[in-house]
Chains A and B, each alone.
Chain A
């Protein structure tokens, strides 16, 4: 194995060990990843690469290693989804309307990341304003999944999932050790499943939303996409915690998540919700779910059949609440204070032209739905109705948590599909999030863990849903599945690295 590919296939944990021993430097590690970014440019994982910044941060990190002052994530090359405001580095949210926006301040989670020693290799591509499940709505072009079907001799043509598709492709393509994403209805967990990665949606309120471009404020959370469960625990540790600048940030103690990874789940009670067995779900996914159940049983967990009766209403409920909140949040893009501005003779004309030119189709569609369900005469029938259903969905979860510690489900009802598929009908695209939106609506933590492969060797994920602020438990269960499935070893064989 060349030094280059050796460095790019490290994990946060293994890179840290080598850096501490002085076997490698952060500058070497960073240069290797920057080189890989160049080599994988065709995947379009990054909107704005930041090589100078990365190397400058790497040099400072090497000094800290020399002085034995290394911090939690010191010297780790990270990709940052382009909706986290980064001071003096443009932040587009994948939109034409923010194409030239350069934030004068730093987001809460990236501030924590830098103070823990991590460095940024670039801002990753994403669906426009995080609205999408395939990373095909970005103004800066589609992202391609580094995985290819077995025997495929065409260039990469699968979607990486979305909306954090660039963040997922960047890690799966070995362009950074890990990345930050955001998850409003599945936008970390679904791309993690499509790209063979670990993706964690933290409990609502666990990570600061300060400086994160808002999509649906009551659902948005930041979280890590990583190669391993241990890395997820490390990166999550490095971004989580109370932030007084976010009024919904939870002022609760932050446990040590790495210590939670004991691998011991004996006596733990894991619920299997029957409503996640969808008609027409591929058999391979059903089978993977059963394998997951068997692995947990073998590790000493008790499996309990449970029911979450309002599950089927989660998607329509989400597609009222999220667009409603988005239509309000995106009102700020008016061409006045920042972002794109079109000429108009009157103020209203300027607004309408600016937003007509600045937003893409999917974003316009969601703003229109959101405006419609909030408009006079429909507010109670649609929006308030959805909020009542949301209460029932959350109550379903809280009730089963009286008898189980966590839940196991598939992450997605299908594996990665080809770019261009599912594009003509928004509803079939929305179904991608059937298993993930429930978790955002209830404000719970969810972990997608790569656990198996389709017959043509594309990765598939299982999801573990936890109790509020109990990310430690789902990470620990994830570590058991990671080990039992042998996913990492198999992935290495398939991808030849």
Chain B
């Protein structure tokens, strides 16, 4: 067992997802199966192979730095659950 309940707990914390105690065991089982399955990639010798993160090569384009009228604060804030003035609001972070 590479993935224990502790691992699941740690990963869930990294991902900021609250999961219930009984889910931890289930996820550990499922993740173990999946990880055991992806281990087959180790059969392949990739020592001289470059990683490919995008199928097409592209470089970021430059554009004119000209003003556009979009992304207005009032439109964007409409989807937020809590706002104060023109800001998003979250639970207090600093005491």
Contacts and interface: CB of A to CB of B under 8 A. Distances in A.
Interface of A: 100-102, 104-105, 204-205, 218, 244, 247-248, 250-251, 310, 313, 316-317, 319-320, 327, 331, 334-339, 341, 344-353, 355-357, 359, 364-365, 367-369, 371-372, 375, 382, 384-392, 394, 425-427, 441-444, 468
The majority secondary structure among interface residues of chain A is helix
Contacts of B61: 244, 247, 251
Contacts, number: 160
A205 B61 CA distance: 14
Interface of B: 3, 7-8, 11-19, 27, 30-31, 33-35, 37-38, 40-42, 44, 46, 49-56, 58, 60-61, 63, 70-72, 75-76, 78-82, 88, 90-91, 93
Contact of B16 (A102, A205, A352): A352
Nearest to A441: B55
A367 B17 contact: yes
Contacts of B40: 313, 316
Contacts of A384: 51
B70 to A, nearest CB: 7
The majority secondary structure among interface residues of chain B is loop
Contacts of B13: 352
A219 to B, nearest CB: 8
Nearest to B51: A387
Given A355-B16, A355-B18, A368-B15, A468 B56 contact: yes
Given A313-B44, A334-B16, A344-B91, A248 B37 contact: no
A364 B17 CA distance: 8
B90 to A, nearest CB: 5
A385 B80 contact: no
Nearest to A443: B55
25 contacts: A104-B71, A204-B54, A248-B56, A316-B38, A337-B80, A338-B80, A341-B81, A350-B90, A352-B13, A352-B18, A365-B30, A367-B17, A368-B11, A368-B17, A368-B31, A372-B3, A385-B46, A389-B44, A389-B46, A389-B49, A392-B49, A426-B30, A427-B33, A443-B54, A443-B56
A310 B53 contact: no
With most chain A CB atoms within 10 A of its CB, the pick from B11, B17, B34, B71 is: B17
Given A316-B38, A346-B93, 10 more contacts: A102-B78, A218-B55, A334-B16, A341-B82, A350-B91, A355-B16, A365-B31, A367-B17, A368-B8, A427-B37
Contact of A356 (B19, B72, B90): B19
A178 B12 CA distance: 40
B17 A356 contact: yes
A335 B60 CA distance: 30
A248 B58 contact: yes
Given A368-B11, A369-B31, A388 B93 contact: no
A382 B58 contact: no
B49 A327 contact: no
A218 B53 contact: yes
A338 B78 CA distance: 8
With most chain A CB atoms within 10 A of its CB, the pick from B51, B55, B71, B75 is: B55
Given A347-B90, A372-B31, A427-B33, A382 B38 contact: yes
A355 B15 contact: yes
Contacts of B71: 104
Contacts of A426: 30, 33-34
A375 B11 contact: yes
A73 to B, nearest CB: 25
Nearest to B76: A104
B19 A205 contact: no
Contact of A353 (B3, B14, B18, B30): B18
Contact of B46 (A251, A392, A427): A392
Contacts of B75: 104
Nearest to A370: B15
A203 to B, nearest CB: 8
Nearest to A100: B79
Contact of A205 (B18, B38, B58): B58
A321 B79 CA distance: 30
A426 B30 CA distance: 8
Contacts of B78: 102, 104
A101 B90 CA distance: 18
Contacts of A250: 56, 58
B79 A388 contact: no
B41 A386 contact: yes
Nearest to B54: A218
Contacts of A355: 15-18
A244 B63 contact: yes
With most chain B CB atoms within 10 A of its CB, the pick from A102, A385, A442 is: A385
A251 B56 CA distance: 12
B75 to A, nearest CB: 4
A247 B60 contact: yes
Nearest to B89: A336
Contacts of A347: 90-91, 93
Nearest to A346: B91
Nearest to B14: A371
A391 B51 contact: yes
B63 to A, nearest CB: 7
B15 A327 contact: yes
A372 to B, nearest CB: 5
